[in-house]
Amino acid sequence: MPTNIEIKARVKNLELLLEKARSISGSQGTRLEQEDVFFNSPNGRLKLRIENEGASGKLIYYTRNDISGPKQSDYTYTIVQNPKDLKETLRLALGVRGIVKKVRQLFMVGQTRVHVDSVEGLGNFMELEVCMRKGQEMSEGTAIAEELMKDLGISDSDLVVCAYMDLLDAKNNKN
């Protein structure tokens, strides 16, 4: 299974973060509108990511410990040609846990995907995904993530330990 080293953090100053991400990546980034439909799963997490207003999608399964700071995420995915039909099939078979809608600005920095996300109902966040290479030590991926955190002005107090779906669940259970 492919592996990432990931971090997620709340964003205090969106414009400053975007400015730093543009500078570090040397690009304006790519704007993506995504709907992640999370399904009930007995193991790990299963989500259907729908992009481009349903024109394309990915079925993604992943496991990740909910800990602060850089963490290992093991995943696999399948490209989906008809995500709306698959969404209905999986809804009937497994049930929908919840839906996360976001606008994502994607920047590439070396082997790292820098996501600047505006998440419906939650606010602004930043994610780093260091895409680990075959044979690369996890400690090297962690060091890359920590260095990018510094470069982007992300402090340990900004870090979030769980997925957007978990944050939405917590928010909805408070109300």
pLDDT digits (tens, 9 = 90+) for 109-162: 999 999 999 999 999 999 999 999 999 999 999 999 999 999 999 999 999 988
Per-residue pLDDT at 71 exceeds 90: no
Residues 26-41 as b/e (b if ≥16 CB within 10 A, e otherwise) read: eeebeeeebbbbbbee
DSSP β-bridge partners for residue 8: 127, 160
For residue 70, name the pLDDT band (cuts at 50, 70, 90).
confident
Which is nearest to 157 in space by CA: 69, 74, 85?
Answer: 69
Q: Report how far residue 75's alpha carbon sits from residue 67's, in angstroms, rounded to the nearest whole number.
A: 17
Rounded Cα distance between 175 and 85, Å, is: 32
Residue 17 has pLDDT above 70, yes or no: yes
Nearest CA-CA partner of 92 in 30, 26, 39: 39
Q: List CB contacts of 85: < 8 A, sequence separation 6 or more.
A: none
Closest CA to 102 of 120, 115, 114: 120
CA distance 73 to 75: 6
pLDDT given at position 5: 94
The model's pTM: 0.90
Dump pLDDT digits (tens) for 27-63.
999 999 999 999 999 999 999 999 877 778 999 999 9
- Domain 3-174, CATH homologous superfamily name and number: Hypothetical Protein Pfu-838710-001 (2.40.320.10)
Residue 128 and residue 21: Cα distance in Å, rounded?
A: 11
Residue 7 has pLDDT above 90, yes or no: yes
Per-residue pLDDT, 175: 58
Residue 83: pLDDT band (50, 70, 90) is very high
Token pair in block for residue 130:
């260091």
**Whether pLDDT at 11 is above 70:** yes
DSSP 140: H
Query: Is the pLDDT score of 68 beyond 90?
Result: no
Asked if pLDDT for residue 174 goes beyond 80, the answer is: no
Q: Is the pLDDT of residue 99 over 70?
A: yes
Q: What is the pLDDT of residue 24?
A: 97
Contact 48, 56 (CB under 8 A): no
Average pLDDT over residues 2-25: 95
Torsion sign, CA atoms 98, 52, 77, 87: positive
For residue 74, give the nearest of 89, 64, 86, 84 by alpha carbon: 64
